[in-house]
Amino acid sequence: MERITSADEVPEQGSYLFTVTEADGSEEEVILVRLSDGIGAWKNFCQHEIDQRLDRGVGNGAAIRDGEILCPKHGSSFDAETGYCDNGKAAGSTLAAVDIAVNRGDVFLTDDDLTFAHEGGIDDGDMPGSTSHLSF
């Protein structure tokens, strides 16, 4: 179990961005979001277009409205609790979940296939930014 951050650092609206290392050595971004009864973790990409980040690493993180995580490019919305999308180009898909636990006010990575790398996004510039014209 690796500590990611304090639960207090996960915003009420938006997301907390961090980077993990996959078993194959590649890096992936993950977002933490507030749920009705805790905190959830999802890999930071839209299921319709995997190079489209939900949290672009600026401002308050991913756009979240009425319990839905919004894709900034096409506007598909994913239920923050389940990751499921029932609209837009990503309809019928589900965000990739990451296993975490909250204990004594801290958030821990418990996913056996991932290793915590660092806070924030991937630093090497391989992940493209949003091409969105939407703003929230």
Mean pLDDT by 10 residues, the chain (136 residues): 96 96 96 97 90 87 95 92 94 96 98 96 56 43
Number of domains the chain contains:
1
> Is the separation of the CB atoms in 129 and 53 below 8 Å?
yes
Residue 132 lies in a domain: no
Residue 36 lies in a domain: yes
Q: Is residue 125 part of a domain?
A: no
Whether 7 is covered by a domain: the verdict is yes
Model's pTM, two decimal places? 0.87
- CATH assignment of the domain containing 20: 2.102.10.10
Distance between start and end Cα atoms, the chain? 35
- Please give the DSSP secondary-structure letter assigned to residue 80: T
Per-residue pLDDT at 132: 42
Amino acid 59: pLDDT:
79
Is residue 130, in this structure, part of any structural domain at all? no
Please check whether residue 127 lies inside any domain of the structure: no
Its domain, for residue 112, covers 2-119
Residue 48's pLDDT is what? 86
Q: What share of the chain is helix, strand, coil (3-state, %, to 5)?
A: 5, 40, 55
| Predicted local confidence at residue 133, as pLDDT | 41
pLDDT of residue 127: 41
Closest CA to 109 of 92, 97, 120: 97
pLDDT for residue 60: 82
Rounded Cα gap, residues 86 and 88, in angstroms:
7
71 located within any domain: yes
Residue 55 lies in a domain: yes
